[in-house]
Structure 1
């Protein structure tokens, strides 16, 4: 049967969970009792997502199961209305069992009491996912959903521009900066700006986390010495005039098309963005591993990715996990999402899909997904998101715009500090303890 409305007991449990989270840590709470369907009737699990292909994944599940069936609903992307819809549904007690939630938002949803812990149910399947994917659904040591996709960092570069100016593909950040100096002399920007989540992959690669948790107490560490080193590097690129138009802007898209911006340092999913933004440059671009801090290193970072999360109040958590895990690991379901959304699976077997072994005409026939799969195996471990990420990233992005524009002495390091202060203030107001 469909997940029923959360009863009074479940609402009380959810309220207790929120109180505990605010006072101590992001502890897991379960809402509602498990309720089976009517005799002979399959259990229906509602799923809300925005990524393309989930509808086909749901169809694949239904074709393979009799006792559980999926009812799929498409919603707006998270920050464009989907998250508010999910929050409101949980509050009203009529949310689905499953919904798409970005990894960066998982801890905030836990702190708000929107998710249901499924550690005991899900842990047996942990090895089916990449470390980066599994860490995305884990808050503290508790699991709240099934990883769906991931965004390992790579280097997109205009091979025609590099060849014209005699520049080898950089393998270290020092070489990347040197390439920028050569390109500058030709009036070409090395890259565009990276203002919010797109920047975090650099810190992730450097082993410079923005959140840590110890004994239930969260700390915001985005201004650590390691993070300052990353900030100093990017500040150097800005000061040397190597950074061009703002990422996502019309000027940025034009630069990617006409060769006046030579690289994108971004997640695997930028493949689709590049094709859409610079269709005229088809055949000019290629993909390589992300430059590293030390010659010979292969470590990279990750930006983005999402989970099929189990929502608070779900009365069929075992069935919900069965659905979520299937949609992330079943070959038919995984291929449906790859074909429709172009995302990179977070499951180990999903990365073996034949769809990821095909040449891409836009990239001159290069099998770019092979680069992405290799990158997925080299994502640095130890990164985790924490509560208050919307404030952290919003403040950081606003101040990064000023740093790129050189307004009022604004710097990348300063943007990190101001973002930390704003987030600590918000979390303190919510009653969440923040450590040093």
Structure 2
């Protein structure tokens, strides 16, 4: 399938005008009434396979074959795009919101607007915008990912931290206090996950992408971004953070051993931490992530994904039916909340009983209460660009080096800015900086 270049198209992503390379729309097909169809579905998150099994039991005419892949940034997206280019992509794929514009640019998504439109009101508007480009809808939003502070209650108390830091100023003060008392102990960690870092930038209003006059704007090295980078760089310079590769076993070993006392991370980190540090059950709690201005609190978002319909799907109507079911069905959401720690994008899902249950690992705390409150203070105008595969790889490399004492973070952002502008131009897209 050839991808035709569009010099200037009004493609709406997250409520903004976006320019991407497009693909001529294919209508796909739909099964005759009563005909059994099988849909392939690629993804990696825990709970997906169980949710699919529930769907298959209640939908005998639509059977979904789930295939677990590597996570998107670990090769899953490359596999999906390669399959799309070869014309043998699955009907359905798990695609993060940050990657939807890149898949659209590659012509890898199928327009299912005629089947999806009736479901729009079931979702928060900004999440619907994540799966809609140029008025075309390419799947169903599944979840959002408000961030919080996961912390050891017992060790905070031991080190005289009476309450979790509410601001980044208090966070630094607590980091100094902990490390001064014991040089082998750190308040927090610094990793190389680009989307965790994006959540920190998002919180501070440090936009990365925008559009104006039919051109992409790239601003990873803006003053707002430099503010965030400078804050974390000073913590690194002063040896107040322990550096780990994100989600590495070494991180959880240190957390379980009481060497790292907290982690600023997304809601979906809750079950990961619980399964990775089982011996510390009951000792953890969740607080809101620290903010820059206590009088005007703003929080970050680290993730969120869609069940996307891939280009060439022969049964787009049935694929859309499954995607919407997965995001809205009570049993599906119950499974995904428990196994994957999602915070639903469907508005009804945000009142799901599973969100109100005390969590034993977190000392019986109803941790979703924290994320519910934070969600009202997340800037929903954040926009992703069409080259996030490249940008996230470059940023991950830079974050890893910075954590080891290499190039400082402001320089890392300048480098990613330059490479991102270059990649946009290489793809034939209009681009400016701001």
Q: Tell me the TM-score normalised to structure 2 length.
A: 0.88
Q: Give the Å deviation of 1:59.
A: 4.1
Q: Give the Å deviation of 1:34.
A: 4.1
CA distance in 1, matches of 2:135, 2:187: 40
* Pair 140,296 (structure 1): closer, same or farther in 2 beyond 3 Å: farther
Corresponding residue for residue 420 of structure 1:
417
Corresponding residue for residue 293 of structure 1:
292
Q: Is the 8 A contact 1:47 1:70 kept in 2?
A: no
- 1:391-429 Cα deviation digits (max 9, x unpaired): 21222222223323333xx21111111011112222222
Unaligned runs of 5+ residues in structure 2 are 10-18
* Pair 277,140 (structure 1): closer, same or farther in 2 beyond 3 Å: farther
Corresponding residue for residue 155 of structure 1:
149
Q: Is the 8 A contact 2:210 2:217 kept in 1?
A: yes
Matched, 1:20 2:5: yes
Q: Secondary structure at the match of 2:108?
A: coil
Q: Give the Å deviation of 1:101.
A: 0.9
Structure number with the higher helix fraction is: 1
Corresponding residue for residue 71 of structure 1:
64
1:430 to 424, 427, 432: 427
Q: Secondary structure at the match of 1:244?
A: strand
Structure 1 stretches of 4+ moved >6 Å:
none
Q: Give the Å deviation of 1:166.
A: 2.0
Matched, 1:98 2:95: no
Q: Give the Å deviation of 1:29.
A: 4.2
Corresponding residue for residue 108 of structure 1:
102
Q: Give the Å deviation of 1:242.
A: 1.1
2:128 to 119, 128, 134: 134
Root mean square deviation, CA, Å: 2.4
* Pair 93,173 (structure 1): closer, same or farther in 2 beyond 3 Å: same
Taking the TM superposition and a 5 Å limit, the aligned residue runs for 1:26-105 are 26=20, 29=23, 31-38=25-32, 40-65=34-59, 69-77=62-70, 78-105=72-99
Q: Give the Å deviation of 1:320.
A: 2.5
Number of aligned residue pairs: give it.
418
Q: Secondary structure at the match of 2:188?
A: coil
CA distance in 2, matches of 1:60, 1:256: 35
Q: Give the Å deviation of 1:140.
A: 6.2
* Pair 131,262 (structure 1): closer, same or farther in 2 beyond 3 Å: farther
* Pair 213,321 (structure 1): closer, same or farther in 2 beyond 3 Å: farther
Q: Tell me the TM-score normalised to structure 1 length.
A: 0.88
Taking the TM superposition and a 5 Å limit, the aligned residue runs for 1:300-379 are 300-379=299-378
Q: Is the 8 A contact 1:70 1:323 kept in 2?
A: no
- 1:83-137 Cα deviation digits (max 9, x unpaired): 2332233223232322111112111111111012334543443332235533432
Q: Is the 8 A contact 1:30 1:313 kept in 2?
A: no
Q: Is the 8 A contact 1:45 1:320 kept in 2?
A: yes
* Pair 199,79 (structure 1): closer, same or farther in 2 beyond 3 Å: closer
CA distance in 1, matches of 2:221, 2:136: 26
1:220 to 218, 221, 237: 218
Q: Is the 8 A contact 1:21 1:111 kept in 2?
A: no
Corresponding residue for residue 282 of structure 1:
281
CA distance in 2, matches of 1:39, 1:323: 16
Unaligned runs of 5+ residues in structure 1 are 1-10
Q: Secondary structure at the match of 2:89?
A: coil
CA distance in 2, matches of 1:287, 1:75: 30
Q: Is the 8 A contact 1:172 1:292 kept in 2?
A: yes
* Pair 55,276 (structure 1): closer, same or farther in 2 beyond 3 Å: closer
Q: Secondary structure at the match of 2:94?
A: strand
Corresponding residue for residue 8 of structure 1:
none
